[in-house]
Amino acid sequence: MPLSPPRVFFEQHVRANYEDWLQHRTDERRAKNAVADANNMAARLFHYWKALDPSRIYGARSEGQYRNELVVRECADFALVRDVADAYKHVELSRPSRRITRYDQTAFEGTRWNEARWNEAPWNGQLVVTLDDGTTRPLIKIMQNVFAMWERVLKRMML
């Protein structure tokens, strides 16, 4: 059976899980589902286009190459989505290009006075990704960037 167009997966899984999480932003299970499907979207596009038109996947010969191209050409935050999804799945990462190493580097964190960037963090706390270098990023901002990337890519591919 042929793989369905990537837009179908995007609407039924990526968008559905993302919007579900947006309604429950501190729910770690919903966040992990949204992150996993945002990451899985790369595999769907790669496998759909690799035989039909490799130029649409930047001529990548593997999913890994395609993911790297997405980070460079489309959205640097896709690297973090990949890391968060892989860390959740594998517990600990050893990939040299990773920016996080363990699953527990994504966690709920209360917001303290004068700690978050203005207009980026809710006062009741949020899920935060702590990078290996000690910096933190709100998961919601990372996901907003990656979700917007997928919408742009699909629109450009007219899917």
Q: What pLDDT digit, counting tens, does each position of 1-15 carry? A: 678 899 999 999 999
Mean per-residue pLDDT for 98-111? 90
> pLDDT digit string (tens) for 23-67?
999 999 999 999 999 999 999 999 999 989 999 999 999 999 999
**Global pTM?**
0.89
- Candidates 32, 37, 34; CA nearest to 19 is 34
